[in-house]
Structure 1
Amino acid sequence: MISIANIKNADSPMFFLLAGPCAIEGRDMALRIAEHIVTITERLRIPYIFKGSYRKANRTKIDSFTGIGDEKALKILKEVSDTFGIPTVTDIHESHEAAMAAEYVDVLQIPAFLCRQTELLAAAARTGKAVNVKKGQFLSGASMKFAVEKINEINPECPVILTDRGNSFGYGDLIVDYRNLPEMSSFGVPVVMDCTHSLQQPNQSSGVTGGKPKLIETIAKAAIAVGADGLFIETHFNPAEAKSDGANMLPLDQLEGLLERLVRVREAII
């Protein structure tokens, strides 16, 4: 199993991967996706963390899918971890969720819109679990040092990961400023590029977020080239049928080829 505390390991030049469905839609779906990715990452020797949100709190429309039930989804995440011997990561949205989710997963993720919420960061730090903080679409990479400082103040031993997911570009698009990656890396923490959410097209008139999944490989290659420690990729057997964020997901059958190419990029720059 990956040691989250030492995931940025100078002796291991390979990037690590956080990947899985946007939301836990069911037990069979989660286990099948995890098994598929584990098979690929073990062959390529890519450290892997399974990602799945137990609940989606940030939805545009009132009738959007939010989850199958907190405890049910969290138990599925625990089963994925136990079955395949891999760490798992999930989002939390309010302070009281931190302790609950920490009973089931290895990494607590702070959504981008909530990265400045002091009590949420503090609650996550108190659990002793690793905390992955997504950079707000409205912040520079340099600003994320304050999120790291908040967590370290509460728990100096808490492993912190910072993830870039693009910056707002007008009302309905995002753009990636790759200067943010080395900027955040200077804080001494592993830095991840979210290759799928950075391609979202939010605030669509339909109330459903759009995306540009054809550019996932472009975002990922550039991130590896500038020194990202890890990549975040949401994936699904059939993104068109995904209950959340399908518009910017990578089809699962494309993941293996993409990772093979990214490994070659990594090898070329070390």
Structure 2
Amino acid sequence: MILIAGPCVIESQEQLEIIATDLKKYHKSEQIDFYFKASFDKANRTSLDSYRGPGLEKGLEMLAKIKEDFGYKILTDVHESYQVPRVAEVADVIQIPAFLCRQTDLLVAAAKTKKIVNIKKGQFMHPEDMKYSVLKVLKTRGIETADYESSKKAGIWLTERGTTFGYRNLVVDMRSLVIMREFAPVIFDATHAVQMPGGAGGKSSGNKEFVAPLSRAAAAVGVDGFFFETHYDPTCALSDGPNMVTPSELEAIVEDIFKIKTVLEEKK
């Protein structure tokens, strides 16, 4: 099972190291393909006054230290094409943000690297239409058709975080996990799925009490992995605090996911 975990945004080297230490068990697990996630820049914050991160160079330097000290594979997002080659020097997975999932130049730039490309489904996208974003990456890599095995071999993932109707809420339609898995491995973004965009007056809010039940539901439907933004103290986090989970909360959720997976495997 793919597991992506880490803070929403880089706040400091100390913050990264504390969280990375709390996630060691997943890196060591033979059942988990673990990726440490943190953003060097949150370019789509609600307000101009919101914290964005340390920036490209400083952020990559900090992520590179985590990679060296802990041996973790790194996932981080890009917002502009010029960032991709530099990010590829550090990251093992290049993530395309949900709002940018149709940006051709960004997808093509990521495809030209040898890295895994994780495309987050836009909150405004029909799940079937994500096939065309996948094809932009596949065709750049010389593959003409989009199906699960081709995308898996080419290193392309899709991540679901729900759909917005413009009323400061996201709704997860579990059918989208099945639909998108026809043409790519699917990751369920459990913490962003409970986000309330703009719900806190110039910044986003969230309902983290739904992270665990939605995760269990996605595990029952069947996905290739999970995405959890994680912080030792979400109440003090500089981005996405209301929807992030603590390491202890994550541990309980992961245990439930594996219990569900075990039941499903026994029924095969």
TM-score scaled by structure 1? Answer: 0.90
180, 186, 192: which one aligns with 1:184 = 180
Task: Tell me, yes or no, if the aligned pair for 2:112 and 2:140 is still in contact at 8 Å.
Answer: yes
Structure 1 position 28, deviation (Å): 1.7
Structure 1 position 126, deviation (Å): 0.9
183, 198, 201: which one aligns with 1:203 = 198
Task: Tell me, yes or no, if the aligned pair for 2:197 and 2:204 is still in contact at 8 Å.
Answer: yes
212, 216, 223: which one aligns with 1:217 = 212
Structure 1 position 43, deviation (Å): 4.5
Structure 1 position 44, deviation (Å): 6.9
Is 2:84 the partner of 1:101? Answer: no
Post-superposition Cα deviations, 1:17-72, rounded to whole Å, max 9, x if no partner, equal: 00100011111211221121122452473221000001110011111001123212
Tell me how far apart the structure 2 counterparts of residues 247 and 239 of structure 1 sit (CA, whole Å).
7
Runs of 4+ in 1 over 3 A off after TM superposition: none
245, 248, 256: which one aligns with 1:250 = 245
Q: Secondary structure in 2 aligned to 1:77? A: helix
More deviation in 243-252 or 231-240? Answer: 243-252
Tell me how far apart the structure 1 counterparts of residues 246 and 165 of structure 2 sit (CA, whole Å).
26
Is 2:256 the partner of 1:264? Answer: no
Q: How does 1:122-141 map to 2 (within 5 A)?
A: 122-141=108-127
Q: Secondary structure in 2 aligned to 1:265? A: helix
Tell me what 2:136 maps to. Answer: 150
Q: Secondary structure in 1 aligned to 2:111? A: helix
Structure 1 position 266, deviation (Å): 1.0
Tell me how far apart the structure 1 counterparts of residues 63 and 174 of structure 2 sit (CA, whole Å).
32
Tell me how far apart the structure 2 counterparts of residues 186 and 148 of structure 1 sit (CA, whole Å).
12
Structure 1 position 262, deviation (Å): 1.3
**5+ residue gaps, structure 1:** 1-14
Question: What amino acid sits opposite 1:164 in the alignment?
Answer: E
93, 98, 102: which one aligns with 1:112 = 98
Q: How does 1:151-170 map to 2 (within 5 A)?
A: 151-156=137-142, 158-170=154-166
Tell me what 2:149 maps to. Answer: none
Question: What amino acid sits opposite 2:224 in the alignment?
Answer: D
Post-superposition Cα deviations, 1:98-121, rounded to whole Å, max 9, x if no partner, equal: 111111111000000000000010
Task: Tell me, yes or no, if the aligned pair for 1:26 and 1:73 is still in contact at 8 Å.
Answer: no
Task: Tell me, yes or no, if the aligned pair for 2:190 and 2:226 is still in contact at 8 Å.
Answer: yes
Q: Secondary structure in 1 aligned to 2:223? A: coil
Task: Tell me, yes or no, if the aligned pair for 2:67 and 2:73 is still in contact at 8 Å.
Answer: yes
Q: Secondary structure in 2 aligned to 1:250? A: coil
State the aligned residue count. 255
RMSD: 1.4
Is 2:240 the partner of 1:240? Answer: no
Structure 1 position 204, deviation (Å): 2.7
34, 42, 47: which one aligns with 2:20 = 34
Tell me how far apart the structure 2 counterparts of residues 154 and 195 of structure 1 sit (CA, whole Å).
30
Percent identity (aligned)? 43
TM-score scaled by structure 2? Answer: 0.91
Q: Secondary structure in 1 aligned to 2:230? A: strand
**5+ residue gaps, structure 2:** 143-152
